[in-house]
Structure 1
Amino acid sequence: MEKITNYGPILIRKGPYKGRIGYYDDTDMDGKLIIYPNVPIYCSDYYKVSQSAATSVIPTACLAERLSDIDHELYKNCSLEHLPAEEEIMLLHERTFCSDMLTARHLRSMQKFQDQNKTEVFISHSSVDLAFSRAIATDLMDAGFSVFLDDWSINIGERIFEKISTGLCESKALIMIISKDYLKSVCCTDEWGAFYGKALHDKSCVIYPIIIDDSVPPALISQIKYLRFNGDEYASALSTLLRSLRKQFSK
């Protein structure tokens, strides 16, 4: 069990507040963590959770997912008015906190991206899954890897095919963000097909299939061990992915 000692952002993993993200500011007499929905200077309401229910590890995709959940809850409340005013205020504070964290991470990753002079990991994804792909890219860059993500790597006026070809040639790892939309995409099939051919001749190149829905990987890829990134499995799957990438690039 993680022992939380540093004040700061916290993700609640279980219990009545499961999924919420807040700021750990203090511990009560019983050893429970006092969590605010935002930095304490901005709010006074809080809730308490046990040490075992919280973690300081907050993957970027969890931030994006929590923002979406909060928006959905607030939208429902606009039409049904089922939330007490105090709860609505707590959600608004949490939304601001999560949004600020997500923006800061993306800005930090964009700065790192501008400073990188090589590409190690190519992220192949459907345009429909761009938000998830940005989250994965952000987590990888926070872990010290340089990435190719078309949304960041291709500027206005540049030739898309040439940039993708260069990214595939430079990269030693391909992350396939597999979904139903990915499997329908001709461009995505071209990307993983090209890298698959490259990996057959260069054993230092590795494909990491990531499944984000109930899709089945393509026949050629099904022989490769894959990860499922969904729900509560995201954090552990990300840890497994990072461990594999570090092992690959340490050789």
Structure 2
Amino acid sequence: MKVLMLTLQNDPPNLDTNAERKDQYKAYGKGFRSVIKDCLQKDPAKRPTAGELLKYSFFKKAKDKAFLVHSLIDNLGGVVGPTISNVNPKKVASGKLKKDKDGNWEFEYDDPDSDEDPAPTLKATEGLEKMTLTGPPQQPQSGGTMNLVLRVRNQQRELNDIKFDYTPGADTFQGIANELVTAELIDGADRVIVAANLQKLIELSQQHSDKKSLTFALNSKLHYNEIADERTLTGFAQLSLVE
């Protein structure tokens, strides 16, 4: 009876209700928190239906069946199969990290059937664990939005080009790095180093520096058969401004 009374009297639980320390679940984004909040409404009539839930940004970012097949079945033999260094480079998948009308960050992959080059200004690179932001020199206007691309190999060693914008005064370096981690686009161990180099690159641009690209080591662990190599960006990353 006590539990029933508390359920009726108290507010519904949220992601932080049973957290053991402050900011324990800080990395979870607004989209996921919105799902929990709406699904735990006390009044069943106010809870979203399954159809309505599919319109939430959290579920829109979910991977499809092909991703599960590739991750759970196709790569199963890789544990005892050939070393990663022998795997042929895969086609770059491009996408956009952007804010929706509610201010929430979303990542959308470009149409894989498109004949257009997803990042024609990017220089093709080879290697394993790496992140790349490349492009032609560009001098953004003071206070204007800056366009960047992040090239990163995911856990399946597929190359992804993550395009995103940075607007001084509206975005923060740490905030963008957090969203990249939340969307599982970069390793959590690389959050600080990515934010720091993003800040450094933006500051160089604002100082009208000719340096438009930065190469730096990652903090995430290499696979057991990988050797850090700056030339192939194995264990390294490169940031650049693009048009």
Calculate the TM-score normalised by the size of structure 2. 0.26
More helix by share: 1
Greater RCO, 1 or 2 (C-alpha within 8 Å, sep 6+): 2
Calculate the TM-score normalised by the size of structure 1. 0.26
